[in-house]
């Protein structure tokens, strides 16, 4: 019943800092074998309707409206262009943002965020690689306008409520992509990525091939809130990334470490929530054009999906994972309910962020200073009726969240940039003067002059 819709409707974020899009995936073999009945119908570029549930004979067709709705024929590029692409401008303008995929197990979250499990190509890649490619492309364009963009990144998974560093290479026997890339640094090619254990590591001139240890012995990564309210994850590896190719290598390496298992619902089921975070700093050497130096944090999240043990056939560790996944998704639901419930007059709303690691890590994205985009993924099939309805209701609820987003302008960074530029100009002038003096036979006098240090 899902059918293509023409036109794209209003752009996401035109009326709110929270955008919710829905994607219907094609039916799979298991669903076809179960009768192949479709129960969702994409009725327009922004609307979707659910048919009656024949098993309960309920007769109330449910209509939903979202920022964008993608029928099952929609390709990866169109999904990106009409959804997450709208986040890129905001991020490069200095606003925090978060893009996350939500939905039941097997509904197409990982496919939409990363791409198919068979391997990524520029045609089939999902939102995360497309967005990273776009960001680096746009930063490259900015360089011509005397804007210097730096990108640092972390990649974690939340597995059974614990945070794991997906770039921690100790003891897992996987190839060392980062070390291999760094080892190439003696060649003329720019180094794609390096790792640093310091959370505030800046661009490095001499990359260290050896990986940094993420967390000291006995203590895993942990969540902390800065005095300004920003949520940080301490004790994870942080990569300084110089281009898309470097980040793509790191992503592929980290994704190999992500916990995945085969269930009856999905042969490649994610058993953890993954979060790629980009910390982007744009320093504008010339603030006179009205563009200030700015920074932004971007979370790109692929959630694990809700599941019923009777459908997945999970046992043992996979069953326990499923219970933990459902619990953290239910905590996310409670946070969204609390954020959209108007408290009794005078009461300060209580938002239960601390009920799960997921809601704690995403605290300042879901209900804080960030543009948030949720991509709700659904199956079209009758066998998943209650899960599809629950997902669409969850998405409708999320659309009601109101947040106040402010730009992260950095006057200190702007001042520092001006000083760095002045220092560079002075050093160039001095070098010219030294050259002239030396040719005039004044080399001994020049040698007595103090040197201008290369830093400010």
Ligand X SMILES: Nc1ncnc2c1ncn2[C@@H]1O[C@H](COP(=O)(O)OP(=O)(O)OP(=O)(O)O)[C@@H](O)[C@H]1O
Identity of the residue, 177 or 270, whose beta carbon is nearer to Mg ion in the bound complex: 270
Identity of the residue, 106 or 246, whose beta carbon is nearer to Mg ion in the bound complex: 106
Which of ligand X, Mg ion, none has residue 399 at its interface (CB below 5 to 8 Å by kind)? none
Chain residues 137-176 in contact with Mg ion, contact rule CB under 5 A:
none
Identity of the residue, 25 or 82, whose beta carbon is nearer to ligand X in the bound complex: 25
Identity of the residue, 113 or 182, whose beta carbon is nearer to ligand X in the bound complex: 113
Question: Quick one: which of 185, 263, 270, 281 contacts Mg ion (CB under 5 A)?
Answer: 270
Distance CA 221, CA 294 (A): 27
Contact code string over 226-265 relative to Mg ion, x by CB under 5 A: ----------------------------------------
Identity of the residue, 107 or 291, whose beta carbon is nearer to ligand X in the bound complex: 107
Chain residues 351-370 in contact with ligand X, contact rule CB under 6 A:
none
Residue 418 host element (H or E): helix 411-439
> 380 is written with which tokens?
């079209």
Chain residues 88-127 in contact with ligand X, contact rule CB under 6 A:
103, 105-111, 116-117
Question: Quick one: which of 269, 272, 281, 359 contacts ligand X (CB under 6 A)?
Answer: 269
Task: Judge whether 97 and 371 are in contact, CB under 8 Å.
Answer: yes
Distance CA 173, CA 295 (A): 36
For 265-269, the CB contacts below 8 A with 24+ separation are 265/30, 265/104, 265/105, 265/106, 265/307, 265/311, 265/312, 266/105, 266/106, 266/305, 268/110, 268/117, 269/105, 269/106, 269/304, 269/305, 269/307, 269/312
Task: Judge whether 70 and 82 are in contact, CB under 8 Å.
Answer: yes
Does position 110 interact with Mg ion (CB under 5 A)? The reply is yes
Identity of the residue, 110 or 359, whose beta carbon is nearer to ligand X in the bound complex: 110
Question: Quick one: which of 377, 378, 395, 414 contacts ligand X (CB under 6 A)?
Answer: 377
Identity of the residue, 110 or 384, whose beta carbon is nearer to Mg ion in the bound complex: 110
- Of the candidate spans 131-139, 221-229, 265-273, 409-417, the one that interacts with ligand X by CB under 6 A turns out to be 265-273
- Of the candidate spans 10-18, 95-103, 266-274, 394-402, the one that interacts with Mg ion by CB under 5 A turns out to be 266-274
Distance CA 32, CA 39 (A): 13
Taking the complex as a whole, the smallest distance from the CB of residue 359 to ligand X amounts, in Å, to 18
Taking the complex as a whole, the smallest distance from the CB of residue 377 to Mg ion amounts, in Å, to 9
Distance CA 30, CA 94 (A): 45
Question: Quick one: which of 18, 21, 22, 25 contacts ligand X (CB under 6 A)?
Answer: 25
Residue 86 host element (H or E): helix 85-92
How many amino acids of this chain bind ligand X (CB under 6 A)?
Answer: 19
Q: To which residue do tokens 């955008």 refer?
A: 19
Distance CA 274, CA 300 (A): 8
Taking the complex as a whole, the smallest distance from the CB of residue 119 to Mg ion amounts, in Å, to 16
Taking the complex as a whole, the smallest distance from the CB of residue 50 to ligand X amounts, in Å, to 19
Taking the complex as a whole, the smallest distance from the CB of residue 321 to Mg ion amounts, in Å, to 12
Residue 436 host element (H or E): helix 411-439
For the beta carbon of residue 320, count every other beta carbon within 10 angstroms.
Answer: 13
Identity of the residue, 105 or 243, whose beta carbon is nearer to ligand X in the bound complex: 105
Identity of the residue, 246 or 322, whose beta carbon is nearer to ligand X in the bound complex: 322
User: Strand pairing of 371-378 and 40-44?
Assistant: unpaired
For the beta carbon of residue 44, count every other beta carbon within 10 angstroms.
Answer: 13
Distance CA 54, CA 32 (A): 17
What's the Cα-to-Cα distance from 287 to each of 136, 202, 284, 424, rounded to whole Å?
Answer: 21, 22, 6, 17
State which residue has the least CB distance to ligand X.
305
Residue 245 host element (H or E): helix 244-257
Distance CA 220, CA 162 (A): 8
Taking the complex as a whole, the smallest distance from the CB of residue 357 to ligand X amounts, in Å, to 17
Does position 26 interact with ligand X (CB under 6 A)? The reply is yes
Identity of the residue, 39 or 147, whose beta carbon is nearer to ligand X in the bound complex: 39
Taking the complex as a whole, the smallest distance from the CB of residue 44 to ligand X amounts, in Å, to 19
Taking the complex as a whole, the smallest distance from the CB of residue 344 to ligand X amounts, in Å, to 37
- Of the candidate spans 13-21, 28-36, 101-109, 422-430, the one that interacts with Mg ion by CB under 5 A turns out to be 101-109
Distance CA 98, CA 111 (A): 18
Does position 270 interact with ligand X (CB under 6 A)? The reply is yes
Which of Mg ion, ligand X, none has residue 377 at its interface (CB below 5 to 8 Å by kind)? ligand X
Distance CA 371, CA 300 (A): 12
Taking the complex as a whole, the smallest distance from the CB of residue 254 to ligand X amounts, in Å, to 16
Identity of the residue, 305 or 367, whose beta carbon is nearer to ligand X in the bound complex: 305
Which residues make up the interface to ligand X (CB under 6 A)? 25-26, 103, 105-111, 116-117, 266, 268-270, 304-305, 377
């Amino acid at each position: 019943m899902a059918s293509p819709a023409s036109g794209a409707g209003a752009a996401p974020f035109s009326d709110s800092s929270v955008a919710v899009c829905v994607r219907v995936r094609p039916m799979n073999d298991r669903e076809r074998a179960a009768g192949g009945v479709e129960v969702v119908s994409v009725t327009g570029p922004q609307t979707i309707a659910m048919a009656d549930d024949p098993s309960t004979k309920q007769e109330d067709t449910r209509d939903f409206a979202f920022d964008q709705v993608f029928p099952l024929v929609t390709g990866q590029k169109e999904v990106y262009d009409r959804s997450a692409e709208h986040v890129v401008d905001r991020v490069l303008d200095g606003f925090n943002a978060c893009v996350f995929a939500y939905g039941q197990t097997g509904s197409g979250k990982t496919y939409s965020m990363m791409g198919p499990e068979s391997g990524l190509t520029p045609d089939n890649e999902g939102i995360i690689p497309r967005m990273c490619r776009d960001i680096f492309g746009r930063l490259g364009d900015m360089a011509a306008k005397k804007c210097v963009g730096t990108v640092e990144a972390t990649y974690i998974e939340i597995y059974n409520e614990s945070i794991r560093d997906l770039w921690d290479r100790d003891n897992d026997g996987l190839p060392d992509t980062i070390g291999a890339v760094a080892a190439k640094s003696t060649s003329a090619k720019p180094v794609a990525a390096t790792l640093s254990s310091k959370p505030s590591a800046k661009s490095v001139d001499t990359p260290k091939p050896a990986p940094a240890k993420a967390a000291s012995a006995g203590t895993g990564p942990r969540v902390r809130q800065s005095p300004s309210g920003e949520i940080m994850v301490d004790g994870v590896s942080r990569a300084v990334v110089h281009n898309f190719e470097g980040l793509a290598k790191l992503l592929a390496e980290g994704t190999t470490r992500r916990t995945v298992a085969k269930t009856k619902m999905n042969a490649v089921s994610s058993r953890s929530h993954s979060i790629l975070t980009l910390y982007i700093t744009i320093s504008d050497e010339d603030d006179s054009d009205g563009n200030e130096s700015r920074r932004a944090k971007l979370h790109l999240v692929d959630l694990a999906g809700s599941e019923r043990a009777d459908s997945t056939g999970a046992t043992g560790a996979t069953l326990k994972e499923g219970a933990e996944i459902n619990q953290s998704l239910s905590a996310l639901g409670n946070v969204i309910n609390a954020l959209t419930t108007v408290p009794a007059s005078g009461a300060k709303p209580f938002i239960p962020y601390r009920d799960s690691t997921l809601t704690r890590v995403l605290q300042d994205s879901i209900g804080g200073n960030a543009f948030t985009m949720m991509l709700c993924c659904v199956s079209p099939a009758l066998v998943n009726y209650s899960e599809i309805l629950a997902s669409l209701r969850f998405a409708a609820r999320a659309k009601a969240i109101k947040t106040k987003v402010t730009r992260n302008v950095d006057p200190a960074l702007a001042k520092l940039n001006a000083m760095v530029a002045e220092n560079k100009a002075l050093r160039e002038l001095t070098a010219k003067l030294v050259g002239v003096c030396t040719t005039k036979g004044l080399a001994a006098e020049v040698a007595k002059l103090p040197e201008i240090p290369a830093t400010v």
